[in-house]
Structure 1
């Protein structure tokens, strides 16, 4: 399974702290410019075990997981927290 480092995100409003991320960006190879895909596409790839995505942290790679809300809400991505106690995905630059 290929894995890619996520280096940017997109949200409807960049300054919003509560709106979900809609897209993630990564470099597929040195020859290919940044690839931006929807969160729905990333979730499909993770759930199909065809690709994995991670955020680089002080402790190394922190892989993204799919969160499936119990109340039937919309699936979304999350990275595990490091010492900062925040979702590392939310600290990335905007697309």
Structure 2
């Protein structure tokens, strides 16, 4: 299974703390230095067990998980929070 470090995100309004991330970006290889995919595509790849995505933190790799809202809302990505209580995915730069 391929593993990629996410290094940027995209939200409709970058300053919003409420809006969900729409895209994630990562480096795949020297030939393909920045790949940007939709969150829906990332979720598909994670659920198919073909790829995993992570954010690099001081403590190492923090893997992304798929969140399935209870109220039949839209699935989204979240990184496991560290002791600071921060979703490390939201700390990344904008695409």
- TM-score, normalised via structure 2 length: 0.97
Distance 1:30 1:62 in 2: 23
Deviation sequence 1:13-56 (CA, Å, 0-9, x none): 00001000000000001221200000000000000000000000
Q: What number of residue pairs does the alignment pair up?
A: 95
Distance 1:64 1:83 in 2: 16
RMSD after superposition: 0.7
Distance 1:83 1:59 in 2: 10
Alignment map for 1:65-76 (pairs within 5 Å)? 65-76=65-76
Alignment map for 1:1-95 (pairs within 5 Å)? 1-95=1-95
Distance 2:62 2:46 in 1: 14
Runs of 4+ that moved beyond 3 A: none
Q: Which runs of 5+ in 1 are unaligned?
A: none
Q: Which runs of 5+ in 2 are unaligned?
A: none
Distance 1:35 1:56 in 2: 17
